[in-house]
Structure 1
Amino acid sequence: MKLRAYILIFLLVFGLTPLVLAVTINLPLVLDRTTLFYQRAYLQNLRADFRDLDQHLASRHEMIRLLSKLPEPGLILGEQGDAEQIDLARARYTEWINQILGDQRDIIQILFVGDDGLERFWLARDARTQAWRPTAAPPQVPSRQFLAAGLELQSGAVMVSRIRIDPMAGADDPRQLMTLSLVSRIGGELAEEPRGVVVMAIDVGGLAQFYRDTLWVNQDGSYLRPGQPASGEPEAFEAFPGLAEIFAQGNLAVWKGRRGRQLLWVPMFLTEDGRPLWVGRAVDPSPIDEFRDALIVRVLTIIFLLVLVVMVLARWIAARAEFFGDQLRGGIGQVLREGRALQFHWRGPREVRELGEQLSTLALNHAEYLQAARAHTRELEKSNRYKSEFLANVSHELRTPLNSILLLSKMLAAESGGLNPAQRRQAQVIHEAGRDLRSMIDHILDISLIEAGHVVVVPEWLRLRPMLEELLELVTPLVAEKTVVLALEMAANTPERIYTDPDKLKQILKNFLANAAKFTERGRITLAAEGVGPGRREVAISVSDTGIGIPPDKQEIIFEAFQQADGSTRRRYGGTGLGLTISRELAQRLGGRIQVESTPGAGACFTLLLPVAASGAVDAETQTHPRPVLTQEEAPARSDAPKVITSPSVASDGGAPRRGWVLIVERDVKTLVALASECSRRDLRVQTAADLDEAIETLQEEGDGCELVLLAAGVSAETTCATLTALLGRSGDPKPAVAVLGEDSAETQLEGCLGAGAIAYLHKPIDPEAFSALLARVLPDRSIPATLGSGSVSPG
């Protein structure tokens, strides 16, 4: 992802996150509060409707006060006068009631109760004629507590009872289903005056008929239908699922059903049994829904516009930052790669201008330094080339007379040379000095070749024990005149063979043994080998002695060129100080490393750690090739010196890039080396892989151009065919040709692989003629005469 994308995403997140959070947090709150206000408005409307009922009841207060002002309360209560006087007074009172309450249809009963709580006189409105008349049976009597409280009232005071719900009485007379009682005291002004109360019953259900679209429901869920008998069944709970939970909470709530249906339920009144009487009214949610939709659309529109503004600003800022970054990155890249003295003329804030000026100064200084460094490098390369050529020429010129000196001095030092003992000792001195001079020339030539990158590693399988025994025999003359014992120790876990360059390995170990012989006057020199590491994938070859040892502060510098533990001009032991330097460089090219352990006066131990199956050099300048045939000019002057080799496969095309490559999927080193050598001789670039995953990765990394895949057979025919199918499935187009490598006995089992995409089956060991025939089929312009052993090929 580009920097511009990161900046754009950051600015968008930084700019929009607060807005989105604000909307996410506040919008639901606003909608909920708006809905709540809307519901409260409905509640206020409902209460306003029932406020008319309160005003109506207030007018009934005046009516019951009028009824309580009796001129003859003793006659009405039946406590004074005879029966004829009482009946006459009650008849006049009934006539008076019919006159003043004739049109007050909501008042259905009037009851006079004495101070003893007994019903003394009552009137009821006839349901058919609406006339007031006494009845044989007394009407509904309020509770005794209500009557007792009425007796305690002051004169002219009125008390209202709770609503009384009587389904049984309502079944006979619907007017008595839902009633309300008002009580006021009568008489009692004088001590001898009788006292009682007048109770007026009001048909609340009849009044409720005027409130249309309003539901009256008991706490148990049964409907109260004014003017109709009560069913007593929880019909409301069935009609409105979840209403029972609302009634259980006892608070104002909104019931929501399907298709947006809503009802506002309010516990409006309390009944005599203390349970609330619920009133429900439908709520029209369309206005609030329209308001919510309009609000959401408006908010989203504002958010969209703000997003557009933020995106435009973010894109502009990101573009400016990317332009600035591209200029900075491109300019710095040109300064570092090309050494150009660029000028950064930036406009803007003072800090940006100062940064441009500082970068311009830095680019100018870097260009000057780089130009000087390149000139110095060219001079060093030129000087190094002259040095290498000089050393090579001098070593060649010195070897011829030096060899003659060594030969003649050795002949003169012999007893048959005709010289006296003093002269023979002089000849021996000349011979030893000449031998030291030749060793110094060899070391200088070796280090010059290593520095020039002309050392080529030629690995092969090497039997370890015979090589170590041979080295001990070569070192034996160096300790012949000393009391030193040479010993070879090989652990039981030492691998029998290792894959490495034998010449380079011998040269390293000979340097170790030569140093041990030089610095050990008595004691023991041990050459040891053992397998180390997980799975014994490494071999440790060590040379330990009982010589003078190396101080701890000198154990690092001895590997530097021309350095020794004793660096004084009057040191006891001679030498150029190049042996360990050459050994370390060669060990790195073999894929190994050198370790040293030493105690002054107790000897030293040099250990070479090598991989058992090293594939070649580690250094980037080192090339791994099969062992080529050297020309006469390229043959070295001695067998153990590093060799300058020019491979025909590299020089055949004059350095032109090769046109394609071959992938070898094989673990057997011998087969791998043979095939790589044959492909190299045909100017084919070779890539190797140990398994399917590595092969697929190689095909993806190298890209197109793979012309042939040499695939080693698996443990079974199914495994080989599956590997072949997967390999061809992951390769690009065009598909490379595939040949399977295997033993003779497995050819019939792997015939199915030929149908899966393989074109041929090569027997191991690979027959060069069969391999040439395969290349002639796949690559007609690459086939040259083969030089390998025998074998056969089975075409697909």
Structure 2
Amino acid sequence: MKLRAYILVFLLVFGLMPLILAAVINLPLVLDRTSLFYQRAYLQNLRADFRDLDQHLASRHEMIRLLSKLPEPGLILGERGDADQIDLARARYTSWINQILADQRDVIQILFVGAGGEQRFWLARDPITQEWHPSEQPPQIPDRRFLAAGLESQPKTVMVSRIRVDPGAGAEDPRQLMTLDLTSQIGGDQTEHAEGVVVLTIDVGGLAEFYRNTLWVNHDGSYLRPGQPASGKPEAFEAFPGLEDIFAEGKLALWKGRQGRQMLWVPMFLTEDGFPLWVGRSVDPSPIDAFRNALIVRVLSIIFLLVLFVMVLARWIAARVEHFGQELTGGIGQILRDGQPLRFSWQGPREIRELGEQLTALAQTHAEHLRTARAHTRELEKSNRYKSEFLANVSHELRTPLNSILLLSKMLGAESSGLTPAQRRQAQVIHEAGRDLRTMIDNILDISRIEAGHVHLSLEWVELKPMLEELIELLAPMLTEKPVELRLSVSPQVRSRVFSDREKLRQILKNFLSNAVKFTERGQIHVSVAARDDKAYPIALSVSDTGIGIPADKQEIIFEAFQQADGSTRRRYGGTGLGLSISRELAGLLGGAIEVESAPGAGARFSLLLPLSADITQTARQAEAEADAESNGDGAATVDQTPDAIMPVSSSESGLNAGSAWVLIIERDVKTLVALTSDLKQLGLRVQTAADLDEALETLAEEGEGCELVLLAAQVSAEMTYDTIRALIAKGQEPHPAVAVIGPAASKSQIDACLDAGAQDYLSKPIDPGPLSALLARVLDRPTGLESPSPPAGQESRVEEVAGRVDVNRQEEETT
């Protein structure tokens, strides 16, 4: 990810995320609160409507107080006087009621109750003429507890009953469907004891007719329609699904239906049976929906504008920072790569200017140190070259007299020499000391070669079990005088052979066995070959002994040159301490590693971990690097030099102006690899190698542009070859390089299939310089100077020499 993307993500996360989270968290709350306020407004409006009903009932309080001030309560109640007087008083009272309650249509019944709770006199309003007159049928009797409370109340006190819902009476007279009663003592405070009460019945249903768009529902879901008889069926529960649950909770609630329909339900009044009387009013959600939509659109618009602003700001900041970073990394890269002092003249804040000055000083210091280090490196290389030459000369000078000493001491120590036993023993001591001296000289020379990088690998298929049996047979005589058992075990799951350097493997394992023999006085030495669950190192060659063991804190220094676990062991057992150091370096060259497990007194176990195949391309590149070093005169030629070491023909001599063009060779056969590399280098072309498709794609990605041609060795099967060609074309860099297949002689159909897959040409092995030159001319679009004459002097012999050292049997590899 680029720096610009990081800055954008950073600003979005730390700049906008808090705002976005706040909007996401608070916006639903704001919308819910707004909806709640809207509902409360509807509720207040509803209660304001019913507040008029309360005021109307309050006016009826004064009316009932007026009715209770009877001038002759005894006559009205029929407790005093004769019948004519009682009838006359009641008639005058009825006439008076018709005068003062003529327009009070909500009052439908007046009842006079005696002190004992018995009905004495009642008046009812005719539903047609609206006149008051004594009715023939007895009135609705109020609740006995309500009457008792009225009789016991204080004078001038008006008591109001709960609403009475009577569907039966409402069926005969709709005015009786929803009623409530008001009661007050007769006579007010004129008497000491209450002579009775007057009960005024109010038609609540008639009053409810004035509240439009309002539904009255009983607790059982039946509608109470003013002026109409009650059905007694739960019609409201069917019309409003879920309303029954709202009624069960008994709280104010908002019912929501389909298509945005909403109803506000309020338990407004209590009935005589203790259940609430519910009032429902429709709520218009369109204003709140419009507000919600407008709020959401505005919030999203603000967030979008902020995101756009942040992206523009991030792009500007990223461009500034990216320019600064490119200048910084480019300058530092140039300092590290070329060692040239640079000056960073940056403008801006004080910290930036100070950073530029410090980097300028650091660049100058680094340039001086780099010049000093390069001079010191040249001195070290020269000293190392002199050391190698000196060791080679000393080896030659020492080996000649040492071989004579070994030969003569061996002859003198033989029984047929004619010497006495004491003299023969002295000759044998001289022979053993000379042999140890030769071993020490060989180890020192090996360490010198490894440090100088002059160790070459001869890769071949190595059968593990025969090689180990030869080593055991070689070292077995050293254990004839010790009670030590030497045995070999090979796991059946392990591969029988590896592609590696046989001599280097023998040298490593011989060092392991020599140490085991040296430090083991009794017990056993076990050589084993086992398989491991490790893709990098699937094979382990181990040597275990029951010797003196190695302390844990000493298991690292034993791999250093001239070191042993204890200085006293060198005096007791002898040795230079170079064997394990050489073994570790050789194991690294073979692509493996060494592990040690040991404890004092419990013996030691040294394991060589190996891959199934050493890196052939690494070996070829090593030979190429050494050939370049030899062509530049950096060191003397060694016996293992490769054909790549021949001085390449310059591009001007070959007629090819290659520039930055290079060629990638995907090949495992070292003979073909070396020959092609030599031919292409004569043309001044840079050559890279790869062992398989994955490594080739990685090389193309790392090396960048400039690859003009890929020489692909034919795979195990034709289909694999076609798939590899397509993969190189599809996954390679743009523009992708040309691909040519090299392999054994093929039929025309096979060649045509390769060309159909995307290849430019098919070159048969051995590669003829003529077709190769024609292919390069087509690919590079310029003439080449590659011809078919014999290679320069010495080159053919050196090719054969490397081919002899690194003999890769392609048929064996494909079979494996």
Task: Give yes or no for TM over 0.5.
Answer: yes
Name which one, 1 or 2, has greater alpha-carbon Rg.
1
Report the equivalent of 1:455: 455
Corresponding residue of 1:205: 205
> Which moves more between the two structures, 655-664 or 383-392?
655-664
Residue matched to 1:537:
539
Residue of structure 2 in register with 1:377 after alignment: 377
Aligned residue for 2:67?
67
**Cα distance, 1:467 vs. partner?**
7.0
CA shift for structure 1 position 131: 1.8
Q: Structure 1 residues 510 and 109, CA, compared in 2 at 3 Å: closer, same or farther? A: closer
User: One-letter code of the match for 2:329?
Assistant: R
Q: Distance in 2 between matches of 1:512 and 1:231?
A: 108
Q: Does 1:223 align with 2:223?
A: yes
Kindly tell me: are residues 115 and 775 of structure 1, through their superposed partners in 2, closer, same or farther at Cα, counting changes over 3 Å? farther
Q: Alignment partner for residue 642 of structure 2, among 643, 647, 650? A: 647
Q: 1:2 Cα deviation (Å)?
A: 2.3
Could you say which residue in structure 2 is the equivalent of 1:712? 716
1:272 counterpart residue number? 272
Q: Is the 8 A contact 1:543 1:605 kept in 2?
A: yes
Change beyond 3 A, Cα 1:617–1:432: farther
Contact 2:111 2:123 in 1 (8 A): yes
1:493 to 490, 494, 518: 490
Whether contact under 8 Å (1:538, 1:609) holds in the other structure is yes
How big is each residue's C-alpha offset from its partner over 1:100-119, in whole Å with a ceiling of 9 and x where there is no partner? 22222222222222222222
Classify the secondary structure of the residue corresponding to 1:732.
helix
How far, CA to CA, are the matches of 1:27 and 1:252 in structure 2? 25
Q: Which amino acid aligns with 1:184?
A: S
Pick which of 307-316 and 674-683 moved more.
674-683
Distance change in 2, residues 1:780/1:442 (3 Å): farther
Where does 1:116-155 land on structure 2 (aligned, <5 Å)?
116-155=116-155
CA contact (8 A) 1:68 1:186 kept: yes
Contact 1:335 1:363 in 2 (8 A): yes
Amino acid across the alignment from 1:128: I
Give 1:38 shift.
Answer: 2.2
Q: By how many angstroms is 1:8 displaced?
A: 2.8
Deviation string 1:483-518 (CA, Å, 9 cap, x unpaired) is: 96899945243998765545555666788999999x
Give the aligned partner of residue 661 of structure 1.
665
The amino acid that maps onto 2:269 is: F
Give SS of 1:179's match: strand
Pair 1:115–1:524, CA change in 2 (3 A): closer
1:639 matched to which residue of 2?
none
Structure 2 CA distance for partners of 1:183 and 1:382, relative to 1, 3 Å: same
CA distance in 2, matches of 1:46, 1:221: 20
- When residues 138 and 576 of structure 1 are mapped into structure 2, their CA distance, relative to the original with a 3 A threshold, is closer
The secondary structure found in structure 1 opposite 2:715 is strand
- Answer whether contact 1:588 1:619 (CA < 8 A) is retained: no
Q: C-alpha separation between the residues in 1 aligned to 2:516 and 2:178?
A: 125
Residue 228 of structure 1, CA deviation: 1.3
8 Å Cα contact 1:679-1:685 kept in structure 2: no
Q: Report the AA paired with residue 291 of structure 2.
A: F
One-letter code aligned to 1:158: V
Following TM superposition, by how much is the alpha carbon of 1:374 offset from its aligned partner in structure 2, in angstroms? 0.7
Question: How much does 1:596 deviate?
Answer: 9.1
Report the equivalent of 1:669.
none
Q: Match for residue 614 of structure 2? A: 615
Q: Cα gap change, 1:774/1:148 in structure 2, threshold over 3 Å: closer, same or farther?
A: farther
What's the offset of the Cα at 1:712? 3.3
Determine if contact 2:69/2:188 at 8 Å carries over to the other structure.
no
Q: Structure 1 stretch 227-236 or stretch 70-79: which is displaced more?
A: 70-79
* Mapped partners of 2:546, 2:248: distance in 1: 98
Give the stretch that moved more between structures: 194-203 or 529-538.
529-538
Q: 3-state DSSP class of the match of 1:184?
A: strand
Indicate if the aligned counterparts of 2:224 and 2:230 stay in contact, CA closer than 8 A: yes
- Cα 1:367–1:248 shift into 2, 3 Å: same
Question: Does 1:195 find its partner at 2:192?
Answer: no
Residue pair 2:616, 2:691 contacting (<8 A) in 1 also? no
Cα displacement string for residues 335-359 of structure 1 (whole angstroms, at most 9, x for unaligned residues): 3333233344455555554444433
Query: Does structure 2 retain, via aligned residues, the 8 Å contact 1:724–1:757?
Result: no
Paired with 2:173 and 2:118, the residues of 1 have a C-alpha distance of 24
Structure-1 residue corresponding to 2:94: 94
Q: CA deviation at 1:36?
A: 2.1
CA spacing shift, 1:140–1:371, aligned 2, 3 Å: same
1:537 alignment partner AA: I
Contact 1:591 1:617 in 2 (8 A): no
Q: Tell me, what secondary structure is at the counterpart of 2:215?
A: strand
Task: Describe how 1:345-356 pairs up with structure 2 within 5 A.
Answer: 345-347=345-347, 350-356=350-356
The residue aligned with 1:5 is 5
How many residue pairs match? The answer is 726
Equivalent residues of 2:512, 2:606 under 8 A apart = no
In the TM superposition, residue 32 of structure 1 has moved relative to its aligned partner by 2.3
Partner of 1:179: 179
Q: Which runs of 5+ in 2 are unaligned?
A: 625-636, 652-660, 681-686, 702-706, 731-736, 757-762, 776-785, 791-798, 801-806, 812-816
Q: CA deviation at 1:728?
A: 5.9
Q: Residue type of the partner of 2:539?
A: R
CA contact (8 A) 1:164 1:180 kept: yes
Q: 1:732 aligns with which of 723, 729, 733?
A: 729
Residue by residue, what CA displacement relative to the aligned partner does 1:239-264 show, whole Å, maximum 9, x if unpaired? 22222222222222222222322222
Check 1:391–1:259 CA distance in 2 against 1; reply closer, same or farther (3 A cut).
same
SS, match of residue 491 in structure 1? strand
CA distance in 2 between partners of 1:673 and 1:360 (Å): 49
CA distance in 1, matches of 2:161, 2:555: 114
The C-alpha deviation readout for 1:739-769, integer Å capped at 9, x for no partner, is 999xxxxx9xxx9x97996799xxxxxxxx9
Give the conservation status (yes or no) of the 8 Å contact 1:182–1:201: yes
- 1:305 & 1:145 partners in 2: Cα distance? 71
Q: Distance in 2 between matches of 1:192 and 1:440?
A: 142
Q: Which moved more, 1:774-783 or 1:581-590?
A: 774-783
Change (3 A) 1:125 1:606: closer
Distance 1:510 1:129 in 2: 135
Would the aligned equivalents of 1:67 and 1:198 in 2 still touch at CA under 8 Å?
Answer: yes
In structure 2, the CA distance between the partners of 1:783 and 1:280, relative to structure 1 (3 Å rule), is farther
Paired residue secondary structure (2:157): coil
Cα shift at 1:373: 0.4
Residue 717 of structure 1 corresponds to none
> For the residues of structure 1 that align with 2:384 and 2:231, how far apart are their CA atoms?
119
Paired amino acid for 2:158: V
Q: Matched residues in 2 for 1:53 and 1:414: separation?
A: 141
- What's the TM-score once normalised by structure 1's chain length? 0.72
Q: Which moved more, 1:558-567 or 1:142-151?
A: 558-567
- Structure 1 residues 4, 739: CA separation in 2 closer, same or farther (over 3 Å shift)? closer
For 1:491, the aligned partner's letter is: L
Higher mean alpha-carbon deviation, 364-373 vs 20-29, is at 20-29
1 CA distance for matches of 2:727 and 2:598?
Answer: 55
- The 3 A distance-change label for structure 1 pair 575 and 622 is farther
Q: Give the 3-state SS of the residue equivalent to 2:186 in structure 1.
A: strand
- The two structures have a TM-score, normalised by structure 2, of 0.70
Offset, 1:177: 1.6
Inter-partner Cα distance in structure 2 for 1:182 and 1:660: 111
Secondary structure of 1:460 counterpart? strand
Tell me the equivalent position of 2:254: 254
Change (3 A) 1:173 1:514: closer
Q: How far is the alpha carbon of 1:409 from its aligned partner?
A: 8.2
User: Following the alignment from structure 1 to structure 2, what is the Cα–Cα distance between the partners of residues 331 and 101?
Assistant: 108
Q: Does 1:242 align with 2:238?
A: no
Q: Secondary structure of 1:364's partner?
A: helix
Superposed counterparts of 1:434-583, under 5 Å: 446-461=446-461, 489-493=486-490, 500-504=500-504, 529-532=527-530, 534=532, 537-540=539-542
CA distance in 2, matches of 1:54, 1:553: 100
* Alpha carbons of structure 1 residues 97 and 364: separation in structure 2 relative to 1, 3 Å: same
